[in-house]
Amino acid sequence: MSMSVTEIRRGLAEGRFSSVEVTQDYLARIAQHNPVLNCFISVTDELALAQARQADADLANGNTQALTGVPIAHKDLFCTDGVRTSCGSRILDNFIAPYDATIIENFKRDGAVMLGKTNMDEFAMGSSNENSFYGSVANPWNIGHVPGGSSGGSAAAIAAGLAPGATGTDTGGSIRQPAALCGVTGIKPTYGRVSRYGMVAFASSLDQGGPFARSAEDCALLLQTMAGFDPRDSTSSEQAVPDYSAALGDGIEGLKIGLPKEYFSEGLDGRLAAVIETAVDELRKLGADIKEISLPNTSLSIPTYYVVAMAECSSNLSRFDGVRFGHRCADPVDLEDLYKRSRGEGFGEEVKRRILIGTYALSAGYYDAYYLKAQQLRRMIKDDFQTAFDSVDLILGPTTPEVAFEIGAKTDDPVSMYLQDIYTISLNLAGLPGISLPVGFVDGLPVGMQLIGNYFDESTLLGAAHSYQQVSDWHLQVPELAR
């Protein structure tokens, strides 16, 4: 099955099939393919069918909302009332959330059906989905390769036809990078556009939720449900949410798009660069004005990000101590033993590495040298973008420096793994929106192109992506197991 969210909505409205039938089909596909792909940590069969039956009743009564009866999967760090919320970690393996995250509430409000919770790098820390307590996720295009991370389960589920839409989070590229490696579309909104209430935090000043789907058209529908002000989130923006679907037909005639020269230099696989150039030519044919620009502090984004993100994660993860919830070690001899063994047993190696580095960066003797300096560099990176947006409407580049690599290829080289996010991290530091869309293949694996917009200008991003997808069919390509 490879129906889009749009097609399912239309089919349900026209009575060509029921929500129960669609949901059963997806649940059957999950049962068939998840043992190999490992996209889902939890499959909520009974809940999904109950929600589907309610959706069918609502459809029959004309009491419909934006996504009534449409099956959706959620990344397993959104708290979901009565359902395990593990964050891909042993430390939360037994945690049943007592409330819904705002994003979950919004999808329930709009009538969506929840298929389950998708696999992810532990606490969203990773670029390959190999850091999960529940095992690696396989890329549906080649099961020996990674799907990207940390939202790899969501991206792989869309690519494999196990869900038509899914949620993810993006702290340094964790929506856009797996979207690129799995050949689907994923958008990271402006920081503050989507509520973080009930979204288990990795790095609070960087995390942002967003949707995955096959197309920009579907992402517009899902983002419409996700976006909006939430008084329970102090970082949530009160800026009005536009009708994202209404802007899809605006076209890109006369749109100024900048190509940062730093994104097309050493480090980018030349074959990916050629694929991106072909996509740029298509945008020119559609009337876009393409020009070269510079983002001179791009090379500073990796070190800046990994100081800021690790410092914030060391603070956020201090609450997981074996006292209030989550994993607790057996027979602690005293409180210190409880803390040490609960955290030592519950956290994986990558999470431990980041906590230690972050704690070091925040320590009294090194705060000014590392964390404060990183925040100063962060401002310089943000200023680069603002200067660029004085002359262009959008910025374009590759999403990743290479296609999906083999599982295990980079697990012993953290720095090489971190460099997979070289083109995505700076957006999170600046708080800007970005979208990744498929634009071709190299070695039979998908290539993603990233478009970057100005603050709260997701409409232009979605419109430009949609315009490209009207003249290309890369977003319609599916791996063999999804046919």
Under 8 Å between Cβ of 288 and 259: no
Please name every residue paired with 260 in a beta bridge, in sequence order, or none if there are none: 293
146 φ/ψ angles, rounded to the nearest 5 degrees: -75, 155
Rounded Cα–Cα distance for residues 364 and 354 (Å): 18
Chain centroid, CA 206 distance in Å: 12
Q: Which residues are catalytic?
A: 75, 150, 174
Chain centroid, CA 375 distance in Å: 24
